[in-house]
Amino acid sequence: MIRVLGIETSCDETAASVVALEGTSAPEILSPKILSNVVLSQIAEHAAFGGVVPEIAARAHVEALDGIIEAALADSNTSLDEIDAIAATAGPGLVGGLIVGLMTAKAIAGAAGKPLLAINHLEGHALTARLTDGLSFPYLLLLVSGGHTQIVRVAGVGDYQRWATTIDDALGEAFDKTAKMLGLPYPGGPNVEKAAAKGDPARFAFPRPMKGSAQPDFSFSGLKTAVRQAAQAIAPLTEQDVADICASFQAAVADALADRVSRALMRFKVEFPQEEQPALVVAGGVAANRMIKTTLEELCDETGFRFVAPPLKLCTDNAAMIAWAGIERLNAGFEEENAFDFVPRSRWPLDVVSAPVIGSGRRGAKA
């Protein structure tokens, strides 16, 4: 049995998890088990600021991480001696938090004489569906979160190709900024969705960014500007105005996503004609939005794709996906002998082959 302790501190969740897999066979054959998954959210610490404050996040990680790791080991009924390796998020993310998590992992691994794996946070998201659904390679990944909006072809552990990314804002960021403009509390995504449930999605004719464009990428900056202009035009806003803006914004997002994703589904079928039922995996916190999820499920039904969305607790930031990515890398022979020398990376693109564009992980852009 392989047991890996995972540590995640890339943003505003402090998390640790123990994941196990019997033997080294593919997860389609053996059932991996999440023995523990402890997540401490910092939403309360950042709510007053309308977003994550990096310095506050890093300090909170320092204060909480030791206790979170102890809880994960206790919940899994596993001692440190029984752990086979330590896996920690090493990027991309807020560098202060990454330093806290990776340095803690280095200290534990060094003191206990365990292998250390420096994990790309995006790879954790990319491989989660193999942990939860036993999915085989290849498949298509739509990653939609506060910091990332990408479509990635996942052909194997370490074999990723980015097919599309955002050229400006990530979708989760657009939700958060829309909420802030409308006076809704942080985090923006759930509160925009809650308000939208009472609104009229047809009241405001917001643009569908990039819809119909041959370029495969996403864009949400113009939509965010349209929301601001609509709100300013009818200020002061009533509760119904806010609900209608949220509903119209959400409808525009769903339409734009469906258009972008449909192109990727067609390309996947062309490149992998042998796949009888290809799969679209949706991960990231925005995947919790019911309208977006329903729209993508309907698109998959129309195109013959299997729709896979891991449980919400494994779509948002968590350490189980990091521990699982560590197991996958160990099984694939990617154990990193130099991980103790690894420096945390605030930008770390999952795909290092595709030409850099805004949003791909280049310094100064979204990772």
Q: What residue numbers does the annotated binding site for Fe cation cover?
A: 121, 125, 317
Contact yes or no for 188/43 (Cβ under 8 A): no
**Per-residue b or e along 69-89, where b marks 16 or more CB atoms closer than 10 Å to that residue's CB:** beebbeebebeeeebbbbbbb
Output the CA–CA distances (angstroms, integers) from residue 326 to 83, 333, 361, in the order listed.
Answer: 12, 11, 22
> Cα-Cα-Cα-Cα dihedral of 328, 305, 360, 206, to 10°?
-140
Helix or strand run (H / E) with residue 90: strand 85-91
Tell me the helices (H) and strands (E) count for the chain, helix number first. Answer: 11, 10
Length of the chain: 367
- CA–CA separation, 106 vs 117, rounded Å? 9
Contact yes or no for 100/88 (Cβ under 8 A): no
- CA–CA separation, 140 vs 283, rounded Å? 11
Residue ranges of the annotated binding site for substrate are 143-147, 176, 189, 193, 289
Residue 273 CB partners (closer than 8 Å, separation 6+): none
State the SS3 of 178-205: HHHHCCCCCCHHHHHHHHHCCCCCCCCC
Instruction: Give me the residues paired with residue 279 across strands.
Output: 306
Residue ranges of the annotated binding site are 121, 125, 143-147, 176, 189, 193, 289, 317
Break the chain down into helix, strand, coil percent, rounded to 5. Answer: 45, 20, 35
**What are φ and ψ of residue 88, in 5° steps?**
-135, 145
- CA–CA separation, 90 vs 119, rounded Å? 6
- CA–CA separation, 70 vs 211, rounded Å? 48
- CA–CA separation, 357 vs 367, rounded Å? 10
